[in-house]
């Protein structure tokens, strides 16, 4: 770990101290209530630890994209309510992002109390990384804790500017339990993995992930590619892809990648095709060279599933991002489920497995294997940037550990 964590704090000195926690409480809402509380649960270890140390815990988070202005439908109030239920203790909510109302609520908070401020993105300064907004938060805080892995790739006021502002005032800015766990797992996978290291990449687009492909190729023993991403590689091989999703402007990159990768890059050999990607679609499985001009590729075929599963079975480390097909629709689900199960079996047999990406995490849920994987990351963009070797601004802004630079 390059940055300090909760364990680097003097817990005796936290009693009565105000600790600002940037959590990732960006959960889906339905009819004004929390529809999936996974991210709230993921934030509990940090909040509990700070409460037990007697800190006054002030939680900041964004929710959705209100665009810098208050939007009642994106209030954190129901999230604070759910946090209260999960913690089993009183959680206060203040309808202010910063300023006097927040300062008064913080002043009234007892040691061990928890307060949730309003959606940080209701303030136009949040996404721009506004220093003045950051200073208003820093004035209230003795310590800043970043536990929002899902936002660590953003240089926003509540992720980077406030960390620097707290440090300027002599306070510490440290990683919370969730952020720490995410970084440690990714470090283990990327820096000294047990081999073979097998990476699986899928999803809709190659464009958002080409840096990930380039960063992974020199490190992995095998890179298995599925999803619509594979179609762009098919095109680079000169194959017919019909009406499938292909990124024409990435065909050259795909070709260059294939040439550089040699047999480390493993593409699907067959595909599930249909007239359209619809829930009621009639499907066929064809070799990849037999996709019709009017057909659309929606999943990897059975031979591919077997080939991928046997490579995954040999792995000692697996990193997975992106579904193998349109797993949201039943006719195109099986390839992703087969890969998820193969990763779970490899993990049962002792491999370390890390899955990242919003859709990949829900695919693991759909396949019923989430509990059998070593780590399911809560971050999408942050996970991909970390895998691509891009430093995360939210981590860089924290207090460095001794001897690790600044």
From the list Mg ion, ligand ADP, none, pick the one residue 91 interacts with, judged by a Cβ distance below 5 to 8 Å according to partner type. none
Q: Which of 64, 70, 112, 380 binds ligand ADP (CB under 6 A)?
A: 380
Q: Which of 228, 351, 387, 392 binds ligand ADP (CB under 6 A)?
A: 228
DSSP label at residue 7: G
- Cβ within 8 Å of residue 338, ≥6 positions away: 305, 308, 309, 324
The stretch near Mg ion (CB under 5 A) out of 75-83, 250-258, 325-333, 350-358 is 350-358
DSSP label at residue 5: B
Tokens of 276: 């359209």
77, 92, 188, 205: the catalytic one is 205
Does 379 help bind ligand ADP (rule: CB under 6 A)? no
Does 240 help bind ligand ADP (rule: CB under 6 A)? no
Does 359 help bind ligand ADP (rule: CB under 6 A)? yes
Cα atoms in the 13 Å half-sphere on the side-chain side of 1: 23
| Contacts to ligand ADP from residues 192-211, by CB under 6 A | 202-204
Number of residues binding to Mg ion, judged by CB under 5 A: 2
Comparing CA positions, the residue from 142, 138, 158 lying closest to residue 150 is 158
Does 298 help bind ligand ADP (rule: CB under 6 A)? yes
Can you tell me the distance from the alpha carbon of 177 to that of 148, in angstroms, rounded to the nearest whole number? 10
Q: Which of 70, 112, 358, 381 binds Mg ion (CB under 5 A)?
A: 358
Nearer to ligand ADP, 242 or 358 (CB): 358
Q: Compute φ and ψ for 328, nearest 5 degrees.
A: -65, -25
Does 386 help bind ligand ADP (rule: CB under 6 A)? no
Nearer to ligand ADP, 26 or 75 (CB): 26
Nearer to ligand ADP, 111 or 390 (CB): 390
Q: Which of 125, 325, 331, 379 binds ligand ADP (CB under 6 A)?
A: 325
Taking residues 154 to 193 in sequence order and writing x for each that binds ligand ADP by CB under 6 A, - otherwise, the string is ----------------------------------------
- 271 within 8 A of 297, measured Cβ to Cβ: yes
Does 357 help bind ligand ADP (rule: CB under 6 A)? yes
At 15, which helix (H) or strand (E)? none
The verdict on whether 167 is a catalytic residue reads no
Does 123 help bind Mg ion (rule: CB under 5 A)? no
Nearer to ligand ADP, 147 or 359 (CB): 359
Give the dihedral of Cα atoms 379, 383, 385, 387; nearest 10 deg.
180
From the list ligand ADP, Mg ion, none, pick the one residue 379 interacts with, judged by a Cβ distance below 5 to 8 Å according to partner type. none
The verdict on whether 214 is a catalytic residue reads no
Can you tell me the distance from the alpha carbon of 291 to that of 285, in angstroms, rounded to the nearest whole number? 9
Q: Which of 26, 46, 321, 347 binds ligand ADP (CB under 6 A)?
A: 321
Can you tell me the distance from the alpha carbon of 73 to that of 120, in angstroms, rounded to the nearest whole number? 14
Tokens of 298: 């929606």
Q: Which of 20, 181, 297, 342 binds ligand ADP (CB under 6 A)?
A: 297
Can you tell me the distance from the alpha carbon of 317 to that of 112, in angstroms, rounded to the nearest whole number? 40
The verdict on whether 39 is a catalytic residue reads yes
Q: Compute φ and ψ for 5, nearest 5 degrees.
A: -125, 180
The verdict on whether 136 is a catalytic residue reads no
State the residue number with the nearest CB to Mg ion: 359
68, 128, 208, 381: the catalytic one is 381
DSSP string, 112-176: T-EEEE--GGGSTHHHHT-HHHHHHHHTT-SEEEE--GGGTTS--IIIIIHHHHHHHTT-EEEE-
- 297 within 8 A of 273, measured Cβ to Cβ: yes
At 283, is the secondary structure helix, strand, or coil? strand
Does 180 help bind Mg ion (rule: CB under 5 A)? no
214, 358, 372, 380: the catalytic one is 358
Cα atoms in the 13 Å half-sphere on the side-chain side of 159: 26
Q: Which of 359, 383, 395, 399 binds Mg ion (CB under 5 A)?
A: 359
- 223 within 8 A of 217, measured Cβ to Cβ: yes
Which positions lie near ligand ADP, rule CB under 6 A?
A: 202-204, 227-228, 245, 297-298, 321-323, 325-326, 328, 357-360, 380
Which positions lie near Mg ion, rule CB under 5 A?
A: 358-359
Q: Which residues are identified as catalytic?
A: 39, 205, 358, 381
């Amino acid at each position: 770990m390059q940055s300090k964590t909760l364990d680097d704090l003097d817990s005796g000195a936290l009693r009565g101290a105000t600790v600002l926690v940037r959590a990732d409480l960006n959960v889906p809402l339905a009819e004004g209530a929390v529809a999936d509380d996974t991210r709230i649960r993921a934030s509990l270890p940090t909040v509990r630890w700070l409460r037990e140390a007697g800190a006054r815990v002030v939680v900041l988070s964004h929710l959705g994209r209100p665009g810098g202005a208050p939007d009642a439908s994106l209030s954190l109030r129901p999230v604070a309510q759910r946090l209260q239920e999960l913690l089993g203790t009183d959680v206060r909510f203040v309808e202010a992002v910063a300023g006097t109302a927040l300062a008064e609520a913080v002043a009234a908070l007892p040691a061990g109390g928890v307060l949730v401020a309003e959606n940080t993105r209701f303030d136009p300064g949040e996404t721009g990384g506004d220093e003045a907004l950051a200073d208003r938060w820093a004035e209230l805080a003795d310590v800043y804790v970043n536990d929002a892995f899902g936002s660590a790739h953003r240089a926003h006021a509540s992720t980077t500017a406030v960390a620097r502002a707290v440090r300027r005032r002599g306070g510490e800015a440290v990683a919370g339990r969730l952020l720490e766990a995410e970084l440690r797992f990714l470090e283990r996978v990327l820096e000294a993995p047990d081999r073979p290291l097998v990476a699986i990449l899928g999803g809709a687009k190659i464009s958002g992930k080409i840096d990930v492909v380039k960063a992974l190729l020199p490190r992995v023993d095998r890179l298995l590619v599925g999803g619509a991403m594979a179609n762009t590689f098919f095109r680079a091989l000169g194959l017919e892809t019909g009406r499938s999703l292909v990124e024409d402007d990435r065909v050259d990159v795909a070709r260059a990648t294939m040439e550089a990768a040699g047999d480390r890059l493993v593409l699907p050999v067959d595909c599930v095709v249909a007239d359209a990607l619809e829930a009621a679609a009639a499907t066929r499985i064809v070799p990849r060279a037999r996709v019709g001009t009017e057909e659309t590729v929606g999943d990897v075929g059975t031979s591919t599933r077997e080939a991928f599963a046997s490579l995954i079975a040999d792995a000692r480390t697996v990193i997975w991002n992106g579904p193998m097909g349109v797993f949201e629709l039943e006719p195109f689900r099986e390839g992703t489920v087969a890969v998820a199960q193969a990763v779970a079996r490899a993990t049962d047999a002792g491999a370390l497995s890390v899955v990242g990406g919003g859709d990949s995490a829900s695919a693991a849920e759909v396949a019923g294997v989430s509990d059998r994987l070593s780590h399911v990351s809560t971050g999408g963009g942050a996970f991909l940037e970390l895998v691509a070797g891009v430093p995360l601004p939210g981590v860089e802004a924290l207090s460095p550990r001794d001897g690790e630079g600044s």
